[in-house]
Amino acid sequence: MDYVVFDDVCKHYQMGTHTIKAVDHVSFTVDEGEFCVIVGPSGAGKTTVLNMLGGMDSCDSGRILLGGRDISALSDRQLTDYRRYDVGFVFQFYNLVQNLTALENVELASEICKDPYDPQEALAMVGLSDRMFNFPSELSGGEQQRVAIARALAKNPKILLCDEPTGALDYATGRSILKLLHETCKNTGKTVFVITHNQAITRMADRVIHMRSGTVADMYRNPDPVPAEAIEW
Amino acid sequence: MVASGKTYAKTLFRQIRGNIGRFAAIMGIVALGVGFFAGMLATTSDMHASVDAYYDRERTADAFVKATMGITQEDIEAVAAMDGVDTVMPAYVMDALMYTRNEKLLAVRIYGVPLERLGDAGDGGFINRLELLEGRMPVSDDECLANELGALPAGIKLGTVLTVSPENRSLEDRGDIYRVTEYTVVGIVNSPFYFSWEPEPCTVGNGRLDAVIYVNESAYALDVYTDLYLTVKDAGELTAFTGEYEAKIEEIVERLESLGETRSAIRYEDIIADARAEIEKAKAEFRDAESEAQAELADAWAEIEKGRAELEDARRQIDEGKVELADAKIKLAEETAKATEEIERGKRELADALIEIEDGERRLAEAERELEDGWREYESGHEAYRNGLRQIEEAQAAFDQGEREYLAGLEQWKAAGEAIEREELNLVRAESQLSQAEAEYNAGLTALEGQKAQFDILMFQVLSALDAAGMPFGSAEELLAALEADPAGPIYTSVGAILSGAGMPVTPDDLLATQQAIAYAEAELSAAAAEIAAGRAACSEGRRQLDQAKAEHSAAKVQLDVAGAEIEKSRQQLNDGWAQLASARAMLDDARAQLASGRSEIAKARRELDNGWREYSEGVAKLADAEAELAAEVAKAEEEIRTAEADLAKAEADYADGLRQLEEGEAEYWKAKADVEKELADAWQEILDAEAALGDIEHPKWYVFDRTSNVSYASFSMNAEKVAAIAKVFPWFFFFVAALVALTTMARMVEEERTQLGTLKALGYPTWAIMSRYVVYCGLASVLGCVAGAFLGFKLLPNVIWRVYRTVYRLPPLIAEFRWNLAILSSALALLCTMGATVSACGSALKERPAALMRPRPPKVGKRVFLERISVIWSRLKFSHKATARNLIRYKRNFVMTVLGVAGCTALLVTGFGLRDSIGDLAKTQFDEITKYDLYIGVKSSSGYDSVLSEFLSDPDKVAGYVEAFAETAYVIANGKRIETTVMVPMDSGELAKVVTLRDRSSGKGIAFGDSSVVLTEKLAANLGLRPGDTFTIENSDGETAEFVLSNIAEYYAGSYAYVNKYDYARAIGKYPARNVLMVSTLVVGSDAQDDVMSTLLSSDSVLGAQFISQIRESLDTVLNSIDLIVVVLIVSSGALAAIVLYNLININIEERKKELATLKVLGFHSEEVAAYIFREISILTVIGTILGFGLGILLHGFVIRTVEQPDFMFGRDVSPLSFALAGGFTLAFSFLVQVAMSPRLRRIKMVDSMKAVE
């Protein structure tokens, strides 16, 4: 049942003589297909958690399991493959390759995967069929983020990690993006993590993890998630 | 920032440390540009300075004077006193042909200089000091120092003895010029005047100086110096080759020239005065000679007059003698005539008598002839008579015989008639007997017939009976045969029985008997018939014979009758004959009597005549006596006359002799007189001519030269300029790339610090203050680059290039100075480039408003590229390829910078390797393909080959083949240019191909050298601007010129030649070329073996000089080795160029796409895939740059080759594929190394960077 497991994970950074405990004995579990929101103020360690979960960073102690696989024990090379095949990533600033069209940005991801979605289908899923030949600079922020989501989805990953996906977007667009993510989660059955400092978003989550100062302050299942349209902030 | 210097410095320092790579890149590219520019420019100056120092050290003449009529002591003093002149040194300088002990003829310049002054360095010092390399200074006049010239030494060593050759055209009397004509080399020296390996022209031999020797002044016999060397005050402080120096010398030269005019005028007056004095002396001498000659002539004339008088006397005496003699002759003639007349009368009488006698004689002879005719008639009549008698007697005898035969015939005829009658009787008898026997036979026959008939009847009966009785027989004969066969047999019995039974009266025996009887009778009858027939035949034969005898008998009777008649007639004729004969006899006797009386008459006449004859002979004898007497007297008189005549003739001859002698004497006198007068006139004329020539005496002239007329100076100066020429082209490229590097780097920096700029601007800093950060940053990098570049460039490049030139000049050590002016110039240029780039990079950013600057710069719009239109290709490309394709177009500055940088790198490498190729090709192509001979022998053209040479040439172990030719140094003139070259005329046009391959370079096609070919080598033709079919002129060493039509241009690298076929040469120049060189293809390998061959050849009397081509090749190899050094420099600098540019590009790309790369990492791209994303672009740019670099390299290589090429040498024009491959390979390798070096930078990119906001 426990698809994603953080078991007593620590991550420390050495800053001169000073040790910063970015993540300090964090443990939580998430079930498959859940829409999980990790919420907390800046410096709470939520991004570090996301990094470790996404295979971009390693933990100093504890274990991280995905579908029973111990990610924390993987080598760099294995981590790269893990990111390549198992993780989809949505950035706050979209991180599209400016020199490639929307479709090509999606292809960029699908090209390196084992069982990808068709890039055009992926773009259709995010509602961008008619803009797929445009360059990022020709798209609005929401559209760019949709492209980014399509790029993440096209890889057909096990989990979708979204780092402040609405952070650079206006309210309405942000809400539509959240809706898209939610729908994606429900329609594809993928486990989705959204990291945010926006408490409002927790209302639409299946599971909420509150973080503070590198520790899990609170973790609970939301028995009654509301649709994105209903959220206001 | 400006306000607080400390903070500012700190920020700057941090900025540099944070961007140390960029800082280094700018520094490096500036260092390269400055290094090359300053270094190459400095090379020219260093070359100048180094040689200048050498010049100063050796107190090299700044100028020198050559005076046509020599330089006097006063001249020297005048020059020495001249303002600006430092030191002077007079010298004797002559070019002469000299031969060595082994008959090698050399063109040598002989300096007669005060060698003893060479040692002291003081003010009385020596100009053009000599550096003694080996040996010692001369201690006597027959010793010398030698300075060998050219790249190919003539083989002068210590101990070599050089003798001034009598062959020198202008030196008819060597003793007039040289006191000593044979010198031994005791020292080898270097002179600052002769440090180039280029040939120094001279006026003797083949026009190229082989060596220079220095001898003591006293070895010369001239009373004035030929040359004056001088140094100019303060010129040593100036650098030779510079305009400043040359201008200073030019000024002195001009003053020297005007001084020369003054001095020449004085010299002229001296010469004229000397000449006038001599003329006056000659006039006095002439006058003395004239009067002496006149006296001698007068004496001679007096003697002639005396001789003439004596001769006239002799003449008179002779004439008198002649008259006397004539009188004597007349008298003699008269007396002789009288006596002769008397004799003639006697002779006439005698002649009459003789006529009478002869008449009588004639008549007597006639009578005798008649008598003899009578006798002869008588004798013939008598003979005829005797003949007639003999004939008649013979006829009588024949008649008698005939009569007797006739009578005997008559008797025989009668006897034959009787015999015929007897025979007839016998025949008649025999015939009657025969007829009786016939009758008897016929009776017997009849009886037998009857008997036979009876028997036949009986037999018929018998047969019938037998038949009836049953015994049939075919015929009677059968029955009879059966019976006879069985006389007592059954048939017999049966027949008998039958017969008896039939009542027949006969028995079988009867039958048989009867038959036998009949047979017997028949036999007898046939015998009788045969006898009768024989008798009948004999009778008829007898009858025929008898009839014939009867006929003959009758015929004989007729003949007998005819004979009888003829006998009677003959008898009558005989009787007539007898009667005639008797009458003839009587006539004969009569004639005989007449003849006898005639004979006695004749005898009487004979006696009378004989008397007449006797009288006549007496008369004749008397006359003969008289005549003899006369003749004796006349002879005596004539003898006397002859004696007188002889005397006269002798006197006459003596006279003629005397006369001739007189005439000869006179002629001699006139001739002598004329001669003397002519001599005198000539002498006078000479004196007049000399007087007239006083005005024609050439005005002496000074020729003033400065160093530019010295080959070494001029050639070195030109080569130093070549370096400067290359310096002016080469480094611009580095500056341009430096500007691009600065531009891209600074643009990137400004971009990165955009927000900061906005903040500063918002805080109120003025634009220039903000900009100054970057300007100072880039400026500092540039300045450091300039310093490093200048130091490196000044040290490295001059040394490398100096080394190369050392292979063609005898050079002193290099003086490499730090040249501030060049350092500042090149640094200023470099700074201008980088600063300009910086300002332009900052300017655009700083124009924006602070608010705009604070906002992240909108990402650059993606651009579609042409390739996207070809969807077949585009759709197959991976995203990273697509991104690369777009990026290449997107960042134009980066593109241009990188491509140019890489192209420059490749171009430098192509140039470097190409230089090796060009010179290597020269050596290889020239000596492996074109020149097929390896030994060049100069031979005496006048004689054949001696045993040493001919043995060598025919040695199959040493010589593979050789070609004879005529070679001379000449000028080729065309299109207003005049270039020295070697004219080569093969003795056999077709043979030339055996030792030299003539071919067209671009097509590689061979040129057949035939009897109408005129071929120039490529460089020569190019320098003259000639193409096949053009006409050009050759001026040979004797100054003879002729025009030729160029037929082909041949590939040739080392040296220049005009190959002319001997027919055209002979026709055009008007002299037949005589072979003087041999081009030999030998099998001799190795320097020891070659040395052996050389010493053998030089011992030959026929050999003037010999040289192995391998020596030229070795000197080319030296050049090649020094080129390698340049190649190393180029490889290093091109590597640096490529590294800087590529580092810069990669750096910018990584910085610019850091987030993109981090994102790719997050997306799970492997590190090699991430690297490929960046490096693919670099690789493509490298390839584009390399290809462009090939083109640039070809241009650069061509420029360098054309610039550094020497007039006589043609470097290869082509860069080999290997060199392109090497250049490309090196470039790619540089690119690869930079990429490898940069890949850690990629690894260091953190994935978390992807989370950051846009800077």
Q: Do B1163 and A80 touch (CB under 8 A)?
A: no
* B1253 vs A contacts (CB less than 8 Å): 92-93
User: Residue B577 is encoded by which pair of tokens?
Assistant: 């004959």
Residue of chain B whose alpha carbon sits nearest to that of A87 = B1163
Do B188 and B298 reside in the same domain of the chain? no
Top-confidence residue, B1042 or B476: B1042
Residue B1023 distance to chain A (closest CA, Å): 58
Nearest Cβ partner for A98 among B859, B1162, B1163: B859
Instruction: Assess A131–B contact: CB distance below 8 Å, yes or no.
Output: no
Evaluate the CA torsion angle A167, A169, A171, A175 in order and state its sign: negative
Query: Are B1027 and B1131 in the same domain?
Result: no
Distance, CA of A7 to chain centre:
19
- Does the distance separating the beta carbons of A92 and B878 come in below 8 Å? no
pLDDT at position B209? 81
Of A48-52, B467-471, B1056-1060, give the lowest mean pLDDT range: B467-471
Whether residue A104 lies within 8 A of chain B, CB to CB, comes out as yes
Q: A48-57, A123-132, B138-147, B472-481 — which is least confidently predicted? A: B472-481
pLDDT confidence tier of residue B175, bands split at 50, 70 and 90: low
Domain assignment of residue A123, given as a range:
2-230
Asked if the structure places residue B621 within a domain, the reply is yes
**Local structure of residue B928 (DSSP, 8 states):** I
Task: Provide the mean pLDDT of chain B.
Answer: 84
Interface check A137 vs B, CB under 8 A: yes
Q: What is the pLDDT of residues B995-1021, one digit of tens each?
A: 999 999 888 888 989 888 899 998 889
- Indicate if the pLDDT at residue B152 is higher than 60: no
Yes or no, beta carbons of A112 and B1254 under 8 Å apart: no
Alpha-carbon distance B851 to nearest alpha carbon in chain A (angstroms): 19
Q: Under an 8 A CB cutoff, do B1162 and A81 touch?
A: no
In this complex, do A112 and B1163 lie within 8 Å of one another by their Cβ atoms?
yes
Q: Tell me what pLDDT residue B1166 has.
A: 87
What distance in Å separates residue A86's CA from the closest CA in chain B?
9
Residues B419 and B327 in one domain: yes
Inside any domain, residue B1241 = yes
The pLDDT of residue B862 is 62
pLDDT at B4 exceeding the cut of 60: no
Nearest CA in chain A to B858: A137
For residue B596, the tally of other CB atoms under 10 A from its CB is 8
- Please say if the pLDDT value at position B120 is more than 70: no
CB contact under 8 A, A84 and B1163: yes
Residue B1194 has pLDDT above 90, yes or no: yes
The three-state secondary structure class of B935 is: strand
CB within 8 Å: B1162 and A136: no
B804 and B745 within one domain: yes
Per DSSP, the three-state class of A22 is: strand
Could A87 and B878 be called an inter-chain contact, meaning their C-beta atoms sit closer than 8 Å? no
Contact B1000/B1049 with Cβ under 8 angstroms? yes
Is B773 a residue whose pLDDT tops 90? no
- pLDDT of B173 higher than 70: no
Segment B96-101 shows an average pLDDT of 83
CATH number, domain at A224?
Answer: 3.40.50.300
Number of Cβ pairs closer than 8 Å across A and B?
Answer: 90
- pLDDT > 90? residue A67: no
Interface membership of A47 toward B (CB under 8 Å): yes
Distance from CA of B1247 to the nearest CA of A (A): 6
How far, in whole angstroms, is CA A138 from its chain's centroid?
25
Across the range B122-130, mean pLDDT stands at: 74
Q: Could you tell me if B1089 and B1154 lie in one domain?
A: no
B402 and B483 both lie in a single domain: yes
Contact B1163 A108 (CB under 8 A): yes
pLDDT tens for each residue of A3-38: 899 999 998 888 778 888 888 899 999 999 899 999
Sign of the C-alpha dihedral computed for residues B1075, B1079, B1081 and B1085 taken in this order: positive
User: What is the CB-side half-sphere exposure of residue B302 using CA atoms within 13 A?
Assistant: 5
DSSP one-letter string for B433-486: HHHHHHHHHHHHHHHHHHHHHHHHHHHHHHHHHHHHTT---S-HHHHHHHHHH-
Q: From the list A51, A83, A92, which residue is nearest B1248 (CB)?
A: A51
Assigned domain for B63 exists: no
Q: Does the residue B492 lie in any domain? A: yes
Query: Distance between CA B59 and CA B123 in Å, rounded?
Result: 11
Say which of B1164, B1167, B1248 has its CB closest to residue A84. Answer: B1164
B873 in any annotated domain: no
Cross-chain residue pair B1163–A109, CB shorter than 8 Å: yes
Nearest to B1163 among A47, A89, A98 (CB): A89
pTM comes to: 0.63
Residues B946, B921 share a domain: no
**Nearest residue, CB atoms, A111 vs list B862, B878, B883:** B878
A124-138, B1105-1119, B1205-1219: which range is least confident on average? B1105-1119
Residue B145, strand partner residues = B187, B214
> In this predicted model, which residue has the larger pLDDT, B156 or B986?
B986
Q: Mean pLDDT for chain A? A: 87
Count structural domains, chain A: 1
* pLDDT at residue B154 in the model: 61
Nearest 5°: CA angle at B1234, between B1229 and B1239?
125
Half-sphere exposure of B1140 (CA within 13 A, CB side): 33
For B713, the token pair is: 């100076």
- Is A112 within 8 Å of B1164 when comparing Cβ atoms? yes
Q: Measured between CA atoms, how close is A4 to chain B, in angstroms?
A: 19
Q: Quick check: B564 pLDDT over 70?
A: yes
In whole angstroms, give the CA distance from residue B420 to residue A98: 190
- Of B112, B259, B105, B233, residue with least CA distance to B167: B105
Residue B71 resides in a domain: no
Contact call for A83 and B1162, based on CB within 8 A: yes
What is the nearest CA distance from B1146 to chain A, expressed in angstroms? 18
Is A100 in Cβ contact with B1163 (below 8 Å)? no
Contact call for residues B934 and B1066 (beta carbons, < 8 A):
no
Same-domain check for residues B910 and B936: no
- Residues of B with Cβ-Cβ distance to A93 under 8 angstroms: 1252-1254
- Looking at residues B715-743, what average pLDDT do you find? 83
Look up the domain containing B900 and give its range.
891-928+1110-1255
Nearest to A95 among B887, B1167, B1250 (CB): B1250
| Nearest CB partner across the interface for B862, out of A93, A99, A151 | A99
Of residues B860, B1161, B1251, nearest to A91 (C-beta):
B1251
- How sure is the predictor about B1, in pLDDT bands with cuts at 50, 70 and 90? very low
Average pLDDT over residues B1186-1211: 86
The fraction of chain B above a pLDDT of 90, given in percent, is 11
Instruction: Extract the runs of DSSP E, i.e. beta strands, from B100-222.
Output: 105-113, 131-135, 143-148, 161-164, 182-190, 211-216
A57 lies within 8 A of chain B by CB: yes
pLDDT score at B205: 67
CA distances to B112, B166, B182 from B215, rounded to whole Å, are 5, 19, 11
- Give the pLDDT mean for B536-558: 88
In a domain, B271, yes or no: no
Residues of chain A found within 8 Å of residue B879, distances taken between Cβ atoms: 97, 100, 104-105, 107-108, 111
Residue in chain A closest to B1169 (alpha carbons) equals A112
The closest CB to that of B1253, out of A47, A56, A93, belongs to A93
Angle at B528 between CA B526 and CA B531, to 5 degrees: 115
- What is the least distance, in Å, from the CA of B845 to any CA of chain A? 21
State the pLDDT at residue B206: 63
Backbone φ, ψ for residue B61 (5° rounding): -60, 135
Kindly report the CA angle at B823 between B821 and B826, in degrees rounded to 5?
105
Instruction: State the pLDDT at residue B816.
Output: 85
* Confidence at B3, pLDDT banded by 50, 70, 90: very low
Compare B167 and B1029 and report the one with higher pLDDT: B1029
pLDDT digits (tens, 9 = 90+) for B826-880: 899 899 988 988 888 887 777 777 777 776 666 666 667 776 777 777 777 777 7
Q: Identify the pLDDT of residue B170.
A: 54
Structure confidence by residue, pLDDT tens digits, B638-657: 888 889 888 888 888 888 88
| Chain A CB contacts of B859 below 8 Å | 98, 136-137
- CB-neighbour burial class of residue B653 (10 A; exposed 0-12, middle 13-18, buried 19+): exposed
Residue B172 shares a structural domain with residue B217? yes
Q: Is A93 on the interface with B (CB under 8 A)?
A: yes
Please report, to the nearest 10 degrees, the dihedral formed by the alpha carbons of residues B490, B493, B495, B497 taken in order.
Answer: -130
* DSSP labels, B598-617: HHHHHHHHHHHHHHHHHHHH
Q: Are residues B399 and B535 in the same domain?
A: yes
pLDDT, tens digit (0-9, with 9 covering 90-100), for B1175-1184: 888 899 999 9
> Is the domain of B923 the same as that of B1016?
no
Q: Would residue B506 count as lying in a domain?
A: yes
Rg of chain B in Å (alpha carbons): 78
pLDDT for the residue numbered B858: 64
Nearest-CA residue of chain B relative to A98?
Answer: B862
Total domain count, chain B = 5
* pLDDT beyond 90 at B186: yes
Residue A97 to residue B879, Cβ atoms within 8 A? yes
Q: What 8-state DSSP symbol labels residue B205?
A: T
Of B209, B230, B251, the residue at which a domain comes to its end is B230
Rounded distance, CA B677 to CA B290, Å?
8
Please, are residues B495 and B411 in contact by the beta-carbon 8 Å criterion?
A: no
Q: Does A124 touch chain B (CB under 8 A)?
A: no
Domain match, B386 and B350 both: yes
